[in-house]
Amino acid sequence: MRWQKTLTVVGAHAEGEVGNVITGGITDVPGASMFEKKEYLEREADGIRRMLLFEPRGGPCHAVNIVLPPTLPEADVGFVIMEATKYPAMSGSNTICVATVVLETGIRPMIEPETRLVMEEPAVLV
């Protein structure tokens, strides 16, 4: 069986709560804001969530986040949160997972002595 699409997913968790992060394979989705991108994914591309969060790859307490280009100029990166049953507009543990993956993979370089990272999620800038 050949896959039609390849996604790069980095495994992450915050205090044991799974919040994996898609870092490749989805370049962007339509929407003028991160909230509109969330709504588009929910309405038009929910197969991504189902593929990654339903058995055998996921489970009821797993989440996955899609890193996307930000829509606000002050943001370094944007992301949309997908959980097994919904698309929340914000989540503390998923924010921690995305920040860790973005910095540890070099998507956003760490700069000593202090790295500032501004992330855009559907509800708010963090």
3-state secondary structure of 14: strand
* Cβ contacts of 32 within 8 Å, gap of 6 or more: 71
Q: Note whether 101 and 23 are within 8 A (CB).
A: yes
33 is catalytic: no
Classify residue 117 as left (phi > 0), alpha (psi -120 to 50) or beta: beta
Evaluate the CA torsion angle 22, 26, 31, 36 in order and state its sign. Answer: negative
Determine the straight-line distance between the first and last CA of the chain, rounded to whole angstroms.
41
Q: Which of 91, 95, 98, 121 is an active site residue?
A: 91
Active site residues: 91
